[in-house]
Amino acid sequence: MILAVLLFFLGSGDGRTPLMTAALLGHISEVKELLAAGADVKARDKEKRLAIDYASPREHPEIVEMLKKAGSPPPTGRSGRLLCQAQAKLNELGYEAGPADCVERQMFWDALGAFQHIMDLAVTNQLDAPTLAALGLDGR
């Protein structure tokens, strides 16, 4: 499974580390392996998020605890899961946004633009504050 995490990381292009990706995907054993191998819990992606920002406290509290015990700073307040949440919400609403895997794809941006148009929002094709509110998502 660690190979899948590494391959996903190599294709992300957004500065995510393998630890961030393992936390995002909820792969507990990979998070343990990466921490044991010395993965940097203080590394930041291009948006200045930490691995702990990618972990789901609701779905995988054990990952959050592992990261804290490994010396992670507190979450930044900017979820690394926001794209996943938006993908899932758009799919739930009947838009074809693609898999909820936090990977930016044209399919997602097209679905987001269609949602913005139907909701009479400015079609920015961005996860801006009005769009997040209409989706019922918190941008933190």
Neighbouring C-alpha atoms within 13 Å toward the C-beta of 116: 19
pLDDT tens digits along 44-73 = 988 888 999 899 888 899 999 999 999 999
Under 8 Å between Cβ of 21 and 5:
yes
pLDDT given at position 140: 56
Residues lower than pLDDT 70 in the chain: 1-13, 139-140
Q: Domains along the chain?
A: 2-69 (1.25.40.20), 82-135 (no CATH)
pLDDT per position as a tens digit, 1-11: 555 555 455 54
64 by DSSP, 3-state: which? helix
The predicted structure's pLDDT at residue 130: 94
- Give how far the C-alpha of residue 118 lies from the chain's centroid of Cα atoms, to the nearest Å: 25
Q: What is the pLDDT of residue 73?
A: 95
- Rounded Cα–Cα distance for residues 140 and 132 (Å): 10
